[in-house]
Amino acid sequence: MPSDKPLPRLYVDFNEMLAPDLVLLSRHGAKRDANGEMIHLYEGLVVAIFSDDLDDQGQPDNLVAVGVVERNHDEGWSKHVKWCCRIGPEGIRHESDFKTNS
Is residue 13 one of the residues assigned to a domain? yes
Domain for residue 39, yes or no?
Answer: yes
pLDDT tens digits, one per residue of 27-36 = 999 999 999 9
**What one-letter code names the amino acid at 15?**
N
Is 100 among the domain residues? no
Rounded to two decimals, the pTM is 0.89
* pLDDT tens-digit map of 52-90: 999 999 999 999 999 999 999 999 999 999 999 999 999
Domain count for the chain: 1
Q: What is the pLDDT of residue 99?
A: 77
| Inside any domain, residue 102 | no
Q: Could you tell me the residue range of the domain that residue 18 belongs to?
A: 9-91
Reported confidence tier of residue 4, pLDDT bands at 50, 70, 90 = confident
Please provide the DSSP assignment of 34-100 as one string: TTS-EEE--TT-EEEEEE--B-TTS-B--EEEEEEEEE----STTTT--EEEEE-TT--EEHHHHHH
More confident residue, 101 or 64: 64
40 inside domain: yes
CB contact burial 6-43 (16+ within 10 A = b; e otherwise): eebbbebebeebbeeebbbbbeeeebebeeeeebebee
